[in-house]
Amino acid sequence: MYLSRLRLNPADPNARRDLADAYQMHRTLARVYAPDAEHPPLRFLWRQERSADGWPDGTVLVQAAHAGRWRALEETWPDYLQSIEADKRVDLTTLVRPGRRYRFRLQANPTLTRDGKRHGLVQEEAQLDWLGRQGQRHGFEVVAAVRGASERVNARHKGQQRIVVQSVTFDGVMQAGAGDAEVEALRLALLQGLGHAKSLGLGLLSLAPVSG
């Protein structure tokens, strides 16, 4: 797995556009993971980080199973980035171990399907319950979790259709399952993300082992 950290330049109009519209950000990053103009982009996840006071800032994390073609972005808009730490290699077999504890961060779209329709969850208890169910499905147990920002994300799909989804940030501690199947499920969750609306910057799970 490859992890990149971008710092966008707020003086660049293209960067300002992307920071204000999650769909536009996804379109820009897709350029980096498309093999060429004739093929769709490979799977990737991204998340706009938040400053200490909880507000979104100009830092974007990008995670993918493949290295990105960052030169394509830099050649298109030379002033788009202030800085980039590109394609740090993360060995999932080393990172995810049976029974290991991690600090985690997840910005996701908690939902519940009822009568064939998907509904965003807005109550804190329901959102935390959703997180617990994700753990059961993806090989981890939530030891402790705090809900941070909970807000609506607005974007325009292809410049026309308005998309509105519920975005929630979770921070806490989790523990990987003890079995091989649970460990593989958690590794897959890191690659594929959790929940829906991944193109809008949701679903990327970040882990850091708890020492001691």
Same topology for domains 2-89 and 97-209, yes or no?
Answer: yes
Nearest partner of 14 among 81, 63, 72, 91, judged by Cα: 81
Q: In percent, how much of the chain has pLDDT > 70?
A: 94
Q: Is the pLDDT of residue 212 over 80?
A: no
Comparing 196 with 38, the larger pLDDT belongs to 196
| Per-residue confidence band for 18, with pLDDT thresholds at 50, 70 and 90 | very high
3 state SS for the chain? CEEEEEEECCCCHHHHHHHHCHHHHHHHHHHHHCCCCCCCCCCEEEEEEECCCCCEEEEEEEEECCCCCHHHHHHHCCCCEEEEEEEEECCHHHHCCCCCEEEEEEEECCEEEECCEEEECCCHHHHHHHHHHHHHHHCEEEEEEEEEEEEEEEEEECCCEEEEEEEEEEEEEEEECCCHHHHHHHHHHHHHCCCCCHHHCCCCEEEEECCC
Which pLDDT belongs to residue 123? 95
Calculate mean pLDDT across residues 191-207.
96
pLDDT above 80 (res 161) = no
Report the CATH fold assignment for 2-89: Alpha-Beta Plaits (3.30.70)
Domains in the chain: boundaries: 2-89, 97-209
CATH H superfamily, domain 97-209: Crispr-associated protein; domain 2 (3.30.70.1210)
Amino acid making up residue 122: V
Instruction: Kindly report, residue by residue over 23-76, the tens digit of the pLDDT.
Output: 899 999 999 999 777 788 999 999 999 776 656 689 999 999 999 999 989 899
pLDDT tens readout for residues 85-118 = 999 999 999 999 999 999 999 999 999 988 888 8
Q: What is the mean pLDDT of residues 133-154?
A: 93
40 versus 154: the higher-pLDDT residue is 40
